[in-house]
Amino acid sequence: MRGNSLPDLGVGLIGTGFMGRAHALAFHNARTTFELPINLKLAALADADAARAQDCASRWGFERSHADWQQLISDPAVDLVAITTPNLLHFPMAMAALEAGKAVYCEKPLAVSLGQARQMHAAARKAGVVTRVGYNYQHNPMIGLAREMIEAGELGRIISFQGEFSEDFMGDALSPWSWRCEEAHAGGALADLGSHLLAMARYLLGDVEAVCADSQTVHPQRPAARGSNEQRAINIDDQTYALLRFANGARGTFGSSWLKHGYKNHLSFEISGTLGTLSFDQERLNELRLYRAGAPGRDGFQRILAGPQQPGYAAFCPAPGHQLGYNELKALEVHELIQALQGNGGNGTDFAEAMEVERLATAIRLAAKEMRWVTMTDV
């Protein structure tokens, strides 16, 4: 039984949308699933709508609510600030939390510009606190297995990466404008979806040295609101594609689109080496496909199914084939964050790594704009 002598960790959550709810569930799941080294307390929740803040705090198990995010950061019961707001607000909220000496768990992308990301990284280093960014797909036990196999040399020398993150939630030209359609909000398919894929590519294969890219705005205007006759101009990318040169010598392709009908969460990759190929699709997140070279006439892809042998899986289910889901990945992310706060984390994306993801995205935008190869030393 957990004793009352464990140190408290007070969580303050800013935002009550889809990601706010996902974070609240993750904190609950982490608290009930794992034997944590701390007493995880849901201390406060903030939303600009005071009534909604109070309602969500009550339903999600937070002790109190605030209608002002600055009050939450100043709340002495809050040790960790979780930021799930639109991208434009990540910078001021994170900077205020860091100035207050509090750990920060921020959703992706880290910021709306590389300049902001660099300032956030510098502030985190100065504050000396733990930071994490919500690239939760990397916490899938199967992604951990993929990285283990690559690092162990099971695929041989890595020669290629083919990655894509496609969804279709903006595929209809009548899908209305939202803050995701604003460049100032780090909108567009590259920031919204592609940042996950860039983080995944770096997690699995390491640094990228140079990129060449092209992007396109397919629908140059959208209704101001659902059913509205008013049209708003769109100047962000609906789809972006790039070529990648990795520091390890591999070559790669990257694609992000929110127009691709039929796909709901198609974060996918194929990684090929001199001894085999490994593939993954987030829509089938509990499996990897592995091809090992050799045995002519008897070769083919093997399906590797997630199970309790992979770290993290058994915490939720003791039997293979019973499937983890999105919310379990978020709970695994929170678990890693808590371990980091205790000095034991190492696989999460902190502000330093998230800044490198932003740097890579910036290089892709520059390459698309100037229609040339861009090396990472250019940004």
Question: 12-58: per-residue pLDDT in tens?
Answer: 999 999 999 999 999 999 999 999 999 999 999 999 999 999 999 99
CA atoms within 13 A on the CB side of 47: 19
**Rounded average pLDDT over 234-253:** 97
Q: Which pLDDT band holds residue 4 (cuts at 50, 70, 90)?
A: low
Enter the DSSP assignment of 285.
T
Reported as a single tens digit per residue, the pLDDT across 305-362 is 999 999 999 999 999 999 999 999 999 999 999 999 999 978 899 999 999 999 999 9
pLDDT at 297: 83
Q: What domains appear along the chain, each with residue ranges and CATH number?
A: 8-136 (3.40.50.720), 138-324+350-378 (3.30.360.10)
Mean pLDDT for 121-134 is 98
Q: Per the structure block, which two tokens stand in for 306?
A: 């997630």
> Residue 294's pLDDT is what?
87
- Of 249 and 2, which is predicted with more confidence? 249
Token reading at 49: 């709508």
In this prediction, residues 105-120 reach a mean pLDDT of 98
Taking only the tens place, the pLDDT of each residue in 222-238 is: 999 999 999 999 999 99
Tokens found for residue 68: 């002002």
pLDDT single digits (tens) 150-170: 999 999 999 999 999 999 999
Mean pLDDT over the full length of the chain? 96
Q: What is the pTM of this model?
A: 0.96
Instruction: Please give the C-alpha separations between residue 36 and each of 2, 32, 40, in angstroms, as whole numbers.
Output: 9, 9, 8
DSSP 153: T
- Cα separation of 112 and 91, whole Å? 8
pLDDT for the residue numbered 259:
98
pLDDT tens digits along 174-222: 999 999 999 999 889 999 999 999 999 999 999 999 999 999 999 999 9
Distance CA 364, CA 379 (A): 10
Q: Rounded to 5 degrees, what are φ and ψ at 345?
A: -85, 160
User: What's phi and psi for 283, nearest 5 deg?
Assistant: -70, -15
Would you place residue 112 in the very low, low, confident or very high pLDDT band (cuts 50, 70, 90)?
A: very high
Q: In the chain, count H helices and then E strands.
A: 10, 17
Determine the average pLDDT of the residues in 258-277: 98
Element (H, E) at 252: strand 251-257
- Burial of 84 by CB count in 10 Å (0-12 exposed, 13-18 middle, 19+ buried)? buried
